[in-house]
Amino acid sequence: MRATEIIAGAAALLASGVSAEAYLGFNSGNTLADRSAKFKKDWVQEFTTAQNLKNAPGTFNAVRLYTNIQAYSQTSEPIEAFEAAIETNTKILLGVWASGTDTIEPEIKALQTAISTYGKKLTDLIIGASIGSEDLYRVSVTGIQNKSGVGAGPSEIVKFIGDWKKAFQGTAIANVPIGHVDTWDVWVNGTNKPVIDAVDWVGVDEYPYYENGKGNNIENSGYLFDRAFDAIGSAVGDKPVWVTETGWPYVGQTWDQAEATVKNQQFYWQEVGCRKLFGKVPTFWYNLRDSNPDNEMKFAITDNLSTTPHFDLTCPSTFKTTPKASSSGAKSTSTATGTGVSAPSSSASGSSSPEAEKSGSTSSPSSSEPVTATVPAESSVATGSATSVKGVSAAAVAGMTLLVGVFAML
């Protein structure tokens, strides 16, 4: 059974021809910084800038979306990012909102509508689909403590994955690899293993900036990233890991030892992006533009979608983060095994992602806490509601895409 699944999965990956490609892209919510909906022209601008960034170490011609539904649509209209992607030849990692709902039918319907309209022009661009985003974090101990909002458990995510596969069985995207995006500690929590088993790849959001109490100064950021990334890799066994969000802010409060500056943004780009990810791991950087008005931390690498970023994107040929020399003093983790998932030890637990409203808070986290978390993301969107995230009840979250940034911690 398991071997059969592996073979089927491998065949699917080969059939879709996408297994080995280290995509380069950014994240993109469906609203702007003033919470208004993005339209086709907004995405055309984004995608055009992304592909023409000065000195970029590759072509950023992929995008990670959070939903298939156009912002504020009451009728599951397809997100206009699809049209923009077709026009600019941008690859698409689909997103499906999976919390606060017992059905992903509106998401499926939006994509089916788009496929019937655009056909192969659209389906040829689809490189993957993430069923859910940080849903398991939100139902974890730290997520609940931090009132991170409505989430979904592993059985719900697995069910939605099944619903998705069934809906697109025998269609042009039947072999598109399915993933789920979540935080580090989620992937080493044994209760979530059914989700690992159900996906073709594992998506991880990781922000060393928010790792207070762990020596999160910029010089140490590469080491913190590596530790989390390598532990995830071990925990999920043979499933490929995609980095679905990572980045460093250039504006914002000093978070323990982490300072938000353009200089540090460049250091992180070089030491994590260039050294570890670009050309090696499918990567969706956070971010090309900022769009979460509630987050005082700003992560954009450009102003106003200029193709000249805040800093020179050129990758250096040598790096400061060297294989040994970890200066963080953090305990080594014992949670990851080579064969599968193990429960996190108490010293390794923790990762959080407070809800969007919290992200603007100026209160500094206690340095005694093992981990911090946050929401660097943009937010908002929604079917059935034109209100901001803040005004929406848990029950109304269905169909809403709340882009939550997270950072995973060891």
Helices then strands, counting H and E runs in the chain, come out as 12, 10
Tell whether residue 304 is a contact of ligand NAG (CB under 6 A).
yes
Cα Dmax for the chain: 55
**Residues in the chain, how many?**
410
Q: How far is the CB of 10 from ligand NAG (least distance, A)?
A: 28
Q: Is 204 left (phi over 0), alpha (psi -120 to 50) or beta?
A: beta
- Residue type for position 258: A
Catalytic residue among 46, 80, 134, 156: 134
Question: Applying CB under 6 A, which of residues 372, 380, 383, 401 lies at the interface with ligand NAG?
Answer: 372
Are 344 and 241 in contact by the 8 Å Cβ rule? The answer is: no
Integer Cα distance of 388 and 91 in angstroms: 29
State the catalytic residue, choosing from 245, 259, 271, 378.
Answer: 245
How many positions of this chain bind ligand NAG (CB under 6 A)?
Answer: 25
When binding is defined by CB under 6 A, the residue of 67, 257, 352, 379 that contacts ligand NAG is: 352
Sign for the pseudo-dihedral over CA of 306, 311, 316, 322: negative
Burial (CB count <10 Å: 0-12, 13-18, 19+), residue 281: middle
Q: Are strands 407-408 and 351-352 parallel, antiparallel or unpaired?
A: antiparallel
Q: Is 145 in the site for ligand NAG (CB under 6 A)?
A: yes
* 3-state DSSP assignment of residue 179: strand
Regarding 132 and contact with ligand NAG (CB under 6 A), the answer is: no
- 7 near ligand NAG, rule: CB under 6 A: no
Select from 31, 140, 244, 295 the one that contacts ligand NAG (CB under 6 A).
Answer: 140
Q: With binding defined as CB under 6 A, does residue 283 bind ligand NAG?
A: no
Q: Are 404 and 133 in contact (CB under 8 A)?
A: yes
CB of 189 to ligand NAG, least distance (A): 4
What would the x/- binding string for ligand NAG be over residues 161 to 190, using CB under 6 A? ----------------------------x-
Using the minimum distance from each CB to ligand NAG, give the nearer residue, 142 or 246: 142
56, 63, 127, 136: which one contacts ligand NAG (CB under 6 A)? Answer: 136
| Footprint of ligand NAG (CB under 6 A) | 136, 139-142, 145-146, 153-154, 189, 191-192, 303-304, 349-350, 352, 354, 358, 365, 369, 371-374
